[in-house]
């Protein structure tokens, strides 16, 4: 039986969707094929890499990707938008079984000292981790 494909979508694919991809791979990579993409892909934010490294999750093999790399090319079991802009602007496309919206603040927009910025990235990282873990429990309870 093939694994369900999960695509996390954000605006730039630089922070939240990258974190979500890494957490789902860590906690359920044996159950899902996990991807992330952005509507306007950019570079992965250096703070993203830093705060994931702090918890021993290496995302150095991940890269920022555009939605068109996936659109119409595979059946997506779950499309999960992790920011409101992506939810508003994401086009409908066939081949998606379920679409979910998990809005998280964009820590890249936070202004402050370097330590304050890192703390904001850690806060969002921890929220995403908790959401991934609770979603996996929900799925297990549905079966």
The catalytic residue positions are: 10, 83, 90
**Distance (Å, whole) CA 58 – CA 52:** 7
Residue carrying the six token digits 């000292």: 113
Print the SS3 string covering 23-78: HHHHHHCCCEEEEEEECCCCCCCHHHHHHHHCCCCCCCCCCCCEHHHCCCCCCEEE
Is 131 strand, coil or helix?
helix
**Distance (Å, whole) CA 91 – CA 76:** 14
């Amino acid at each position: 039986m093939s694994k369900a494909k999960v695509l996390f979508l954000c605006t730039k694919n630089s922070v939240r969707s990258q974190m979500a991809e890494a957490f789902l791979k860590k906690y359920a990579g044996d159950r899902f094929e996990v991807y992330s993409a952005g509507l306007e892909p950019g570079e992965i934010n250096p703070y993203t890499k830093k705060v994931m490294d702090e918890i021993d999750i290496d995302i150095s093999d991940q890269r920022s990707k555009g939605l068109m790399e996936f659109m119409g090319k595979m059946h997506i079991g779950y499309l999960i938008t992790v920011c409101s802009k992506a939810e508003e602007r994401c086009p409908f496309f066939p081949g998606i079984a379920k679409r979910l919206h998990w809005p998280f603040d964009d820590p890249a927009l936070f202004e402050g000292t370097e330590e304050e910025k890192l703390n904001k990235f850690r806060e969002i990282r921890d929220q995403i981790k908790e959401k991934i873990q609770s979603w996996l429990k929900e799925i297990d309870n549905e079966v």
